[in-house]
Amino acid sequence: MLYIGTDDGIYRWFPGANWPIFHSLQGRAIVDLASPGGGVIVAVDNTGRVWETTSNGQDWNEVPLPTGAGRPSALALAWTPAEIVMAMRPKGLYRRPVGLVAESPEGPPSRFAWLAGVLFGTPRESGVTATAT
């Protein structure tokens, strides 16, 4: 399967399918996307908002970014289960499991860790507890 990020969302195509086969995140200019398979896709739009889906693009959730984080400049998915890894300025590398939900409605639905302490300073944890869905 091939995912294509465009100025008007994400298109999905596979051999033998009509073009376009599926259009997701309509109206958003996609500047980066990654998918390890299994219905997981993560995308960054041109405003710096990060989106994730575990339903192959049927439903999307915005990924909350840590306080002080700038716009993501690079995106990757790694590990099993999938974790989002993003490079950001000024903070460094940010890692977050895909599909986290907050234990408290008041808290952000994220638990994040800053990576590469030797490159960017001391690694930090947000202290927000969360569970994977």
pTM of the model: 0.74
**Which one of 3.40.50.300, 2.40.30.60, 2.40.10.500, 3.40.50.2020 gives the CATH number of domain 2-99?**
2.40.10.500
What residues does each domain of the chain span?
Answer: 2-99
Q: Are 92 and 119 in contact (CB under 8 A)?
A: yes
Using a pLDDT cut of 70, give the percent of the chain over it: 74
Angle at 60 between CA 57 and CA 64, to 5 degrees: 140
3-state class (DSSP) for residue 74 = strand
Average pLDDT, whole number, for the chain? 76
How far apart CA 79 and CA 30 sit, in angstroms, is 23
In tens, the pLDDT along 81-129 reads 788 888 887 767 888 888 876 544 444 444 555 554 433 333 344 433 3
Name which of 14, 115, 117, 126 is nearest 74 in CA terms.
115
